[in-house]
Structure 1
Amino acid sequence: MSAVTLYRRSRMGVMRLLPVILRTLSKRAQYSTQGAIISNPRGRSRQIRIGDMDIVPWTTAGMESCVVVSLSIGQSKKLHLAFDMGYACQQSVKCNHVFISHGHMDHCSAMHQHASKRSLMRNSPAKYYLGSELVRPMETIQENLNQISEFPFQADWTVTKPNDVIQLPGPYHVVPFKTFHRVPSMGFLLYKTTSEVKEEFSKYSRSELKQMELRGEQVYNEVVSPELAYTGDTTFEVFTPPSIPDLLKVKVLITECTYINTVKNINEALTRERGHIHLHEIIRNQHIFSDVQALMLVHFSERYKAENIFHTINKLCPTELKGKLYSACVDKEETHIASY
């Protein structure tokens, strides 16, 4: 078993403790595993750092879902994004771009609370990217809440649909893609645009390249890379074939995995009927995730406890899949993040 090992520094040096599910033992605890850092900011929501992305996952199927992603955009500035807003956790308040996958309450019911919290903190209104079928209902709710609130709030409801290109600050943009659920739904793919020196100019120094640019020569290629994808609620059909070509080429793929075992009436057929993904489907099709660098499973059914999720995934998943696998769930009002 390739479990996570927690290390604690004491007067006697580094003391190795037993493998554990990644969960906070103290507010200053920090864990390092397979290149990822899991830490506990203040509050109940843990965060994990994978590459240059800080991710705060707070998701439970049918209850509440919100995934916060923070990225650097240069000069010590950060871009904060939220995917779904079924719970306006503390870390989500700093997000001024919120992407809503569909209209079920556990994924969108906290948008107005989020907008109100931002207003209270004197932040500018956030942009909420959502399907056209949701805009008028959300505007109506906002109007009603503002009638009874001492402090009215503003929100920028922005219609989006699959294949739109949503430009963000810095080198990032987002493209929504079609997903398969019981109501209209979509996922979101985050891209990053960078520049790299063309091969024929790689031998020149930076100052020489600058001189060439001043003479009008094109010395750089523009490179667009798929960074992160968030599926929201969907069946496994979103991957076979991929709804968007780059879906299975991202560095980090955050996908739902509502059910993890087969008991009583919970099987793959019922999972698909309800518009969700079963762990067995991921295991059986593990080969399609070969180009994904990190696969994070979220949105587990509330029937599962954190230890049950960890041990089931650790037991059932093959070693080659576990090397890139993470899971995040909410148990006893705290986020639990595991690496395998």
Structure 2
Amino acid sequence: MPSHNLARIQIEDLDLLGYSIAGEETVIAMPQLDVCFDIGKAPDQVIAINTVLLTHGHMDHSAGFAYYLSNRNFSGMSPGTIVAPANLIVPMREIITSWGYLDGNKIPANLVGVRPGDEHQIKPNLFARAFPTKHSAGSVGFTVLEKRRKLKPEYLQLTGPQIVELKKQGVQIDNPIEIPIVSYLGDTQYVDFSQLDYVKSSKILIAECTFYELDHEGRAQAGRHMHIKELADLLAALQNEHIVITHTTQRTP
């Protein structure tokens, strides 16, 4: 029986599996991409996912990271990879070491520190790119992009054998392209993310919106979160096909 009752959303050929309530827990997994955005309380449904993209260190987003790593080890899996803001790596290692003492077993881990603009390969044709957010020290969001190659326009009318012959001659017949699949903002106050083309054009945008009451704009600013009015402004400048809202509260209508 699953440890958590996670919501499931299907968007074309991708599944989103997760739970997100502000101050309680946020964990959003995309099994087909083999990534989990934030790790919440590490529900057992996400343990088999090999890469966790951690946006910041607040407990409701990060508390389960040591359990995730330990459970993978207990289950005979390879060490999990957690990609996190660079300033969190040292304290995360200290936590893993302390839990190892308590548990009586060393907890294997692959921790990767990133700063805005850094990239991490997930699969041969898939990678994550970190971008800056405004929430806590070092906080980042992530875009998962697919690498493809596109035939150059001048070769589009060629037959298969002609293309093969050009390849044999060492002719570069295609160009590398990047397809942004999903962007996850994590927790953040309003930022004009339309300045980042890969966020602007991601097929899926996963965005937080914590405050909805008209008189709560000040609270949103104080906590460095998004208010519904700011979310509307943000979305108006983006071109995403699908929008998923996270980090609501128990009071959200």
With structure 2 as the length reference, what TM-score do the two structures score? 0.91
**2:20 is the alignment partner of 1:54:** no
Q: How much does 1:152 deviate? A: 3.4
Q: How much does 1:189 deviate? A: 1.2
Give the structure with higher Rg (CA): 1
Gap change, CA 1:226 and 1:105, over 3 Å in 2: same
Between 1 and 2, higher relative CO (CA 8 Å, sep ≥ 6) is seen in 1
2:184 and 2:231 map into 1 onto residues whose CA distance is 16
Does structure 1 retain, via aligned residues, the 8 Å contact 2:16–2:28?
Answer: yes
Q: What is the identity, as a one-letter code, of the residue corresponding to 1:59?
A: S
Gap change, CA 1:100 and 1:42, over 3 Å in 2: closer
Does structure 1 retain, via aligned residues, the 8 Å contact 2:185–2:207?
Answer: yes
1:207 and 1:69 map into 2 onto residues whose CA distance is 39
Does structure 1 retain, via aligned residues, the 8 Å contact 2:56–2:136?
Answer: no
**2:187 is the alignment partner of 1:226:** no
1:152 and 1:271 map into 2 onto residues whose CA distance is 40
- 1:128-277 matches, within 5 Å, as 128-239=82-193, 242=195, 244-262=196-214, 266-277=215-226
With structure 1 as the length reference, what TM-score do the two structures score? 0.69
Q: What is the identity, as a one-letter code, of the residue corresponding to 1:96?
A: N
- CA RMSD in angstroms, aligned pairs only: 2.1
Q: How much does 1:302 deviate? A: 2.6
Q: How much does 1:133 deviate? A: 2.4
**2:25 is the alignment partner of 1:64:** yes
Find the counterpart in structure 2 of residue 303 from structure 1: 251
Q: How much does 1:151 deviate? A: 4.2
Q: What is the identity, as a one-letter code, of the residue corresponding to 1:127?
A: T
Q: What percentage of aligned pairs have identical amino acids?
A: 25
Gap change, CA 1:238 and 1:60, over 3 Å in 2: farther
Does structure 2 retain, via aligned residues, the 8 Å contact 1:103–1:183?
Answer: no
Gap change, CA 1:183 and 1:249, over 3 Å in 2: same
Aligned length: 253
Q: Secondary structure at the match of 1:302?
A: coil
2:3 and 2:14 map into 1 onto residues whose CA distance is 19
Q: How much does 1:62 deviate? A: 0.7
Find the counterpart in structure 2 of residue 14 from structure 1: none
1:182 and 1:149 map into 2 onto residues whose CA distance is 30
Q: Secondary structure at the match of 1:94?
A: coil
2:58 aligns with one of 98, 104, 112: 104
List runs of 5+ in structure 2 lacking aligned partners: none
Q: How much does 1:284 deviate? A: 4.3
Q: What is the identity, as a one-letter code, of the residue corresponding to 1:155?
A: A
2:127 and 2:149 map into 1 onto residues whose CA distance is 15
Does structure 2 retain, via aligned residues, the 8 Å contact 1:261–1:280?
Answer: no
Gap change, CA 1:246 and 1:273, over 3 Å in 2: same
1:254 and 1:273 map into 2 onto residues whose CA distance is 22
Runs of 4+ in 1 over 3 A off after TM superposition: none
2:192 and 2:81 map into 1 onto residues whose CA distance is 26
Q: How much does 1:285 deviate? A: 4.8
Q: What is the identity, as a one-letter code, of the residue corresponding to 2:180?
A: P
